[in-house]
């Protein structure tokens, strides 16, 4: 069975990777076989081509992103907005610290303290 599968696969230009044969002896007067054959499906090395295509798409997307960011009108410098931003960040930091200090800590289960 293994040689037959291997010959048929090689006739189609592929290579046999794995062959598993399972035997079912439960029927009384017959034996059922289940054959699982794994072979290469294509002579094209897709394991190399797919990451290369994804890398090219990522580079092109990054280039378009940089071009779009360069064309954005960023407006006035942060002269007036800088103090407002500093106050907002300070309030957020104080709120985060207050929440972290007031949370109750859960004890682990099983007596491991």
For 46-64, what is each residue's pLDDT tens digit?
778 888 999 999 999 888 8
| Residue 5 burial (C-beta neighbours within 10 Å; 0-12, 13-18, 19+) | middle
- pLDDT for position 57: 93
* Angstrom distance (rounded) from CA 24 to CA 7: 25
Per-residue confidence (pLDDT) for residue 111, from 0 to 100: 47
> Alpha-carbon dihedral of residues 56, 62, 65, 67, nearest 10 degrees?
-80
Which pLDDT score, from 0 to 100, does residue 64 have? 85
| pLDDT at residue number 56 | 93
pLDDT of residue 105: 64
CB atoms within 10 A of CB 82: 10
Show the low-confidence residues of the chain (pLDDT under 50).
111-113
In the structure encoding, which two tokens stand for residue 1, read together? Answer: 């069975």
| Dist. CA 64–CA 66, nearest whole Å | 5
What pLDDT score was predicted for residue 55?
Answer: 92
Give the per-residue pLDDT at 113: 43
Q: Which of 7, 9, 4, 8 is nearest to 21 (CA)?
A: 4
């Amino acid at each position: 069975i293994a040689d037959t599968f291997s010959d048929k696969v090689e006739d189609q230009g592929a290579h046999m990777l794995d062959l598993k044969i399972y035997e079912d002896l439960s029927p009384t007067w017959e034996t059922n076989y289940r054959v699982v054959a794994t072979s290469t499906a294509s002579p094209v090395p897709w394991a190399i081509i797919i990451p290369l295509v994804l890398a090219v798409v990522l580079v092109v997307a990054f280039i378009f992103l940089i071009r779009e960011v360069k064309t954005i009108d960023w407006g006035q410098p942060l002269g007036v907005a800088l103090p407002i931003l500093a106050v907002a960040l300070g309030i957020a930091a104080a709120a985060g610290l207050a929440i972290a200090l007031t949370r109750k800590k859960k004890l682990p289960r099983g007596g491991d303290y």
